Amino acid sequence: MVSATEVLAPRQDPYELRPEDVRTPPETLRERLRYLGPGIVLTASVVGSGELLVTTSLGAQAGFALLWLVIVGAAVKVWVQVELARWTILSGQTALAGYGKVGPRIGRMGWINWLWIGLDTAKNFQRGGVIGGTAAACSIAWPIAGGELSRTSLVLWTVVITAVSVLLMSNSRYSVVERVTTISVALFTTSTIALALSLPFTPFAYSAADLGTGLSFSIPAGALGLALAMFGSTGVGADDMTNYTYWCLEKGYARWTGPDDGTEERALRAEGWLKVMQLDVLVSWVICTLTTLAFYIVGASVLEPQKAVPEGNEVITTVSRIYTDTLGPWAKVIFLVGAIAVLFSTHVAAVAAVPRLWTNTLGLMGVIDWTNLAVRTRWLRIFTVLLPAVWAAMYLYVQSPLLLLKIGAIGNAIFLLAVLIAVWHLRTTEVDRRFRATRGITPVLVVSTAAITGLAVYALLEVFGISVQ
């Protein structure tokens, strides 16, 4: 990884493209690996909420039947992420700015910007669920006051978690987010994949026939809501794609490419840094897919046969059985440490990303000057304090982490259609044909669009009671 001092000098605006900041892109795989990072931050934002809780719960409820959705969901969305990031690096603009280019406009912003505001309202419930999951894991490990999962213990841990995350993100530095998320993702995903691979040697072994059943491309009755939640929250969701553009900008991909001066030198730099971004996406996609599969298989193998479906504040206790039922009671400690790490890193990623999006939205509305670094920094700090407090309050009111996660994830799945529209609009109107001609990208993007649209139509028909079985 490139050091923080290399990536962003003090007081330098990461969203400003200056000719003096251009940098020759790395040419070898080893050199490109040094510049990865945004994808790991993105992975952290979905592993804690989607994989750990929603995906495991889906496996516990539906068994192996929806294994195919794990694979398809991760595969089809990543291409949309690549195209949105491609436009960002070439233009130096954020995703929300790109959404505003899609008409019709409502006031100063595009209709997708307003839809995003609605989505983020729903996502606040999901973020509250992540805080709740972290608080529940901490309460089980160390109740502080009262018993495990007592109201007093949960409230105290919620306050502590919220305060610590605000302090960590108070300076709004990308480098802090990258360090925290990289460590936690590496530790917990490695242990979970190892657990899934060890299951065949335990009483909860799965067979090739089980895996074959999971590739039947059907959704069992009663599992649609959770399936939509998993599709929206696992792998790369619409909000994650949006966040990724900000991390690409702050890492330096667009800044090192430089402003578009129409020269061949700039085009070659752009091609080089786009290759780095694509490698970054590939690495994060592999991690997300393997982790999601591991959580789902473990939930289907260990929890589903025992009809142990995670619910309410007991979700952490129930999910911990994927370790204790296979490895023994001692493994609960390992699970809790890992769960706290990965859930907290997901929360930290949200505390870092969401204030950026809301500050950018105020800029698009004309309320503030987004290009003014001092003004932007001030509003980032305001939102960094305000938003986590709102999420914590939502959790303490509802007291059901999994329910909160489902609400936010379903809204995220719906918003994915709007992101698709924006990506196609930006790709065809603002990206030079030279950068659209990458071999194989257009066909897979078409397939991804068809798959995402088809699932959305299926969901809407089911919601309105029109059977497509």
At 265 the pLDDT is 96
91 CB neighbour count, 10 Å cutoff: 20
Residues 231 and 80 sit within 8 Å (Cβ to Cβ):
no
Distance CA 469, CA 458 (A): 10
| Per-residue pLDDT, 467 | 56
Each residue of 241-275: pLDDT tens digit? 999 999 999 999 999 999 999 999 999 999 999 99
Q: How confident is the model at residue 145 (pLDDT cuts 50, 70, 90)?
A: confident
CA–CA separation, 438 and 282 (whole Å): 15
Q: Residues 174, 250: contact at Cβ < 8 Å?
A: yes
**306 or 156, which is more confident:** 156
* Positive or negative: CA dihedral 211, 212, 215, 216: negative
**What proportion of the chain, given as a percentage, has pLDDT over 90?**
38
Handedness of CA 30, 32, 37, 43 (dihedral sign): negative
The three-state secondary structure class of 410 is helix
SS3 content of the chain, % helix, strand, coil (to 5): 75, 0, 25
The domain segmentation of the chain, as residue ranges, is 4-463
CATH number at 4-463:
1.20.1740.10
Rounded to the nearest integer, the mean pLDDT of the chain is: 83
39-68 pLDDT per residue, tens: 988 888 777 655 666 677 778 777 888 888
- Residue 301: pLDDT band (50, 70, 90) is confident
Q: Which two three-digit tokens encode residue 280? A: 């970054």
Report residue 109 as tokens.
């912003």
Most trustworthy range by pLDDT among 226-235, 325-334, 457-466: 325-334
